[in-house]
Every structure is written in C-alpha cells, then in structure tokens.
Amino acid sequence: MQFRHEWKHEISYADMLSLRSRLSAVMHKDSHAVNGRYKIRSLYFDNFRDKALLEKINGVNTREKFRVRYYNDDLSLILLEKKSKIHGLCSKDQAVITLEEARLIANKDIESLSASGKPLVKELYYKMRTEGLEPKTIVDYIREPFIYAPGNVRVTLDYDIRTGLTGTDFLTPDCVMVPTGNAPIILEVKWDEFLPAVVRDAVQVPGTHTSAFSKYAACRVYG
C-alpha cells in the first residue's frame, strides 16, 4: 500500500485565481480534465453510529472511509474507493465496478456481491454485512487538477461543494443537490517522498494554514 503526504488549505476566491495562474506556469493540467476541470460525484458510506464522521471530527489517527465515485456525469467508469489515513499519511485503494454493481451497492442489495472477484468489493460487502456500513450521502464538487511528475505531485482546487442531504440516488445525474453552507474553496497538495521546491513555492498562500477540512463532514452538516 502506497502512502502519500497530503496538505489541505481553505482559501478564498482571490487566492484561487492567483494559484490557478501560478500553478499553470509550473505544472501540467490533468489530461482527464475538460477545459481544465471536471465534476466529481461521490457516494459516501458510514454506519449507524457515524463512525467515519466522528473519527474525522475527533482527529483519530488511523481511519478509513469508503466511497463510490464517477466523473462528469459519465456512468461508463465508476470507481469503488477506500481511503485510509495513518498518522497524517494517506493511501487509496480502488476498483472499477459496473453500473449494476454500483446500483446494488447504492440500494443495499448486496448479497450477490459476496462472490465478487474484486477484493475491495468483497471488503465493502463484508463491512456492510458486519459493521452496518451503508450509503450515507452524495458529495458533488468541481475540481481543477494540476500534476508535476517529480515527486508524483498532484495539486487540486476544489469548489462548489454540494450535498445530497440524506439522499443516496447518486446514479441520477439530476438528483437534488444543495450547497453546503459556507464551504470554502479547498487547495489540496499530495506527493510521495518529496515535494519539489518549485511546487512548494507555488502553493504558498499567505494567511492560510494546514486544514483538516472534510468534504464528507461538510456535506453532513444538515444531518
């Protein structure tokens, strides 16, 4: 399992405009982006005790969360992901799943998934069966991604964060989504062993500090 470093900063719209210009000068746009950005929709999971939410709020050092995700309303590629965090380092496991598998998971109709040949799907099935994990809410946002090969650096600007409240019909592109209160714009910086100085300098935003902001937590603000 590959663990990566991660910084998060809450920034203003003016900060984003400045960062967009600086990052474009030293980094490449992600080839998967359309006009420099893409929409992300995720369905997040938690149990009846809100374990993932409370562990995030309480800053538990070792935690994980599951989500199903697709991009730009395109259901031809759907990913099941498990994001793990240990003492500030992050890792992500993922598996491509079919539209039918995604529909079964969203509807909690999971018995047929027990025979899946995908280890991550079987792990989700097991935890839904034994730990009460279930779909909790939809999270939408726009992402502008930048990449830098040395250090495997990825810098993203995330904004227009929206919540599906308690709805989990995330396979319907026009399902009702609402803004998450006063959610900020989020600058994320991720890298492997080292962060090149040219990127470190480019992402500096005076007056900001490392944040523990969680899009999932923000989208649970209404329940």
What does the pLDDT read at residue 146? Answer: 97
| Closest residue by Cα to residue 188 from 44, 34, 6, 1 | 6
Percent of the chain with pLDDT over 90: 82
Token pair for 76: 């031809």
pLDDT greater than 70 at residue 125: yes
pLDDT of 168? 80
Q: How far is CA 21 from CA 27, 146, 202, in A?
A: 10, 11, 10
Give alpha helix (H) positions in 131-213.
197-202
For 37-87, the pLDDT digits (tens) are 999 999 999 999 999 999 999 989 899 999 999 999 999 999 999 999 998
The mean per-residue pLDDT over the stretch 13-21 comes to 96
**Which candidate, 11, 44, 22, places its Cα nearest to that of 166?**
44
Per the structure, the complete domain to which residue 181 belongs is given by 5-219
Cβ-Cβ contacts under 8 Å for 140 (sequence gap 6 or more): 39, 40, 41, 42, 160, 161, 162, 163, 164, 177
Query: What's 93's domain CATH number?
Result: 3.20.100.30
Q: Are 8 and 213 in contact (CB under 8 A)?
A: yes
**Dihedral over Cα of 192, 196, 198, 201: its sign:** positive
Query: What pLDDT was estimated at residue 223?
Result: 64
- Quick one: how many helices (H) and strands (E) in the chain? 6, 10
Q: Residue 142 in 3-state DSSP?
A: strand
Quick one: average pLDDT of 186-214?
93
The residue to which tokens 């989700």 are assigned: 124
For position 109, what pLDDT does the model report? 94
- Record the pTM: 0.93
Q: What is the pLDDT of residue 1?
A: 64
**Number of folded domains in the chain?**
1
**pLDDT above 90 (res 173):** no
pLDDT over 70 (residue 210): yes
**Three-state secondary-structure class, residue 10:** strand
* pLDDT value for 10: 95
**Over residues 179-201, mean pLDDT:** 94
> What average pLDDT does the structure give for the chain?
93
